[in-house]
Structure formats: C-alpha cells, structure tokens
Amino acid sequence: MADLLTIADLDVAYSGRPAVRGVSLTLRRGEILGLVGESGSGKTSLCSAITGVLPAGASVRAAGLRFDGRELTELSHEEMRRLRASRIGLVPQRPMTSLSPSSPVLRQLRWYHDGPDLADLLGQVGLRAVIDRPRDHPHRFSGGQLQRLLIVLAALARKPDLLIADEPTTTLDATVQAQVLRLLLDLRDRLGLAMLYVTHDLAVVAQICDRVGVMYAGRLVESGTVDQIFTAPRHPYTRALLAALPGRTEPGRRLGTIPGDARARSAGCAFAPRCPDAFARCGEEEPMPITIGADVVRCHRAEEDA
Ligand SMILES: Nc1ncnc2c1ncn2[C@@H]1O[C@H](COP(=O)(O)OP(=O)(O)OP(=O)(O)O)[C@@H](O)[C@H]1O
Ligand SMILES: [Mg+2]
C-alpha cells in the first residue's frame, strides 16, 4: 500500500506549552490507524495539526507533513487549508453542533450529496428514517442516528482520502457503536479511505484497526500492528495499558487506570516516574525513537533489547 500521509517530527504547542512533541507517523492508503493514550496526551492536538484547524495561540512545526505526494509545509497557509479541507474528512465528536437545528435533516444532507444513490446509501447504514421522514429536523433523530449520518457525510460529501474520527463512538450505546464501526469498515472497503481513529477503547482498536499509535505526554511512544501491540508490546506504558484492562477483548472496555502520578515528569523519559522498568538513564535522557521494521518505540529498555 502506498503512503498517504507522512508526518515527520511534528510539534504542537499552545502559547508555548508543548502538547505534541516530535511525532513521526505514516498512514497508508486504506489503512486504519488507532490512536490511543490517556486524556491530555495530545491525540486531538495531533488530529488538529493534520486538519489544520487549530485555536488561536496554537503553533505547529514539522520537519515534514507529506500528504499524497505533496509537502504541505511548502504550501501557503491558505493553500494548505484548502487542500486539507477538500481531501480530509473529520467526524466531530458531538453531532448536534454540526447540523443546523432549524432545517430538515434530509435537506441538509442533500446540500452535500444529492446523488441518486442517496436513499440506497442511507438504507445500508440503517438510516431509511431520514428518507421516510423528509421534514424532520435534527432533534427528531437519536444521537446514534445523527452520529452515523455525520460519518456518512464526512465520508461522502467530498470523497476524502483520509477520514479523521476523534472518539466518534464514546457517547453511543454498544449496539449503535457496533453499527458505526461496521459503517466505517464498509466505507474504508468501498472508498479505499485511510482512517485515523482516536479512541479510549482498546476493544474497538482490536476490532477495526490495522495499526496502533500509543501516545504519552505528547510523544508517540510506540506504534505497531494491532497484532504486535496486543501480543508483544515493546513500551512499558503500552504494557501497563494492556495490564490495566481486564478482559481486554470484551466490548466496551475502556483504558484502565495505571499506577503512578500521570503529571510527574523527569528530565528524561516522560513515563520514567511511573515506569516499573525504569533505570538511571531513563530519568536523565530522553529516549530517541527506535525503528523496528515499520514500527517505532521510544524506550531505553527496548533500545537495549534491540
Ligand atoms: N485549546 C487549547 N489551549 C491550550 N491548551 C490546550 C488546548 N487544547 C489542548 N490543550 C492542552 O494540550 C494537551 C493535549 O491536549 P489534547 O486535547 O490534544 O489531548 P487528548 O489526548 O486529545 O485528550 P482527551 O483524551 O482528553 O481528548 C493537554 O495538556 C491540554 O491541556
Ligand atoms: Mg481529545
């Protein structure tokens, strides 16, 4: 599979305070990459840097940000914004804020996609109700129905190459979540979309992702195939995440809590104060990323093992 997105050494900061630090990542066409890590680890900031939608006061710096063969850092701000806007779909977390409350859902949908296949498409994702009730406004539909609708919209409106979904199923019950996941997989197969899927739920990762990126304190500490991450995690933080997850393949299991103070930092590895495997060097020197095949890990211990 060809590379669609290559991020090299990306930093994001808010008013000078780092939120994403030196992240390098590759996403291939048709691939679903799950992004996990505890709250505040920089997942949304990473997504925002890719879509180019950041709040005032935020700064982005990267050695490279290559999308479909074009170096985005060489484009003007406006060119970059337009390119991303047309090629990258974003599934927002809260559906109600993305639809106008004062206009029928079907009419809003037709603004974006008015093809003859619309009814068929909606039927396939269990949204016939939108066709059957053409005059109903958003508040007449359930949160799950609207969430699925927004995924269809994000994927179909502009036929993007990349779909970024930032925790799209956290507010949904298990049945609706399963429908949304099936829909995402179907769209990937049908449109060849690549997907960046942010979640707290490792069971979801196991279900739909090809690869996983694990973030800690703004760093991508490990990436690998789903198989690699679940069966032979290399980073102690990844191992702690999995260990904190009872019955890890049960649906609906979320990231557990891991011991130690999440805010404690050292001059070296950010995870060192909580790491059961830390040794002297870990508290003094930041580990550099070690590449193992297509995977990466940032850990002195793994470096010694390699
Ligand atoms: N608009 C903002 N202004 C200032 N700081 C921000 C802003 N957005 C995020 N941050 C900070 O940047 C860091 C990373 O936040 P981010 O939202 O990317 O984390 P996250 O991994 O998406 O967390 P969550 O799982 O809670 O959504 C945090 O320390 C957060 O407080
Ligand atoms: Mg977030």
DSSP symbols for 222-249: EEEEHHHHHHS--SHHHHHHHHT-TTTT
- Residues 6+ positions from 181 with CB-CB distance below 8 Å: 169, 204, 207, 208
Q: Which amino acid is at 269?
A: C
The CA 43 to ligand 1 mean position distance, Å, reads 8
Whether residue 249 has pLDDT greater than 50: no
Show Cβ contacts of residue 252 under 8 Å, excluding neighbours closer than 6 positions: 174, 177, 201, 203
Q: Considering the entire predicted model, what is its pTM?
A: 0.86
For the residues 62-73, what does the mean pLDDT come to?
Answer: 89
Pick the ligand that lies closest to the CA of residue 20. 1
Q: Give me the pLDDT at residue 187, please.
A: 82
Residue 235 confidence (pLDDT) = 96
pLDDT tier at 248, thresholds 50, 70, 90? very low
Instruction: Give the lowest-confidence range in 154-158, 213-217, 226-230, 251-255.
Output: 251-255
136 CA to centre of ligand 2 in angstroms: 31
- Ligand 1 atom 6: residue of nearest CA: 14
Query: What's the rounded Cα separation, in Å, for the pair 182 and 19?
Result: 32
Q: Please state, in angstroms and rounded to a whole number, the distance separating the CA atoms of residues 217 and 197.
A: 19
Q: Where are the alpha helices (DSSP H) in 125-235?
A: 128-132, 143-156, 174-191, 202-208, 226-231
